[in-house]
Amino acid sequence: MTASREPTDDEVKAVAALQRVAKRWPKSLTLLSMAGSLCVVYTDEASLDRDQDRSPDMVQWYVDGIPNDGGDW
């Protein structure tokens, strides 16, 4: 990865914290970014065929405070 600037100490700590969470993240849960909201759903519900509509009803939790974007590159 090529960074456009050097990360701050707080940014390095935040990413390290996410990496620690990822190591113990339950396989039963999936993070989705939907309409600018970071959402947690059960993995079996997240595996819906992309042609099917995803519904806000499948969201179990919202994670506030982390900017995110669900778009592809």
pLDDT tens track for 41-67: 998 876 655 556 677 888 999 999 999
Domain ranges in the chain are: 27-73
Q: What is the pTM of this model?
A: 0.75
Residue 35 pLDDT > 70, yes or no?
yes
Residue 3 pLDDT > 80, yes or no?
no
pLDDT (0 to 100) of residue 10: 98
Q: Which residues of 38-70 are buried (b: 16+ CB within 10 A; e: fewer)?
A: bbebeeeeeeeeeeeeeeeebbeeeeeeeeeee
Average of per-residue pLDDT across 8-12 = 97
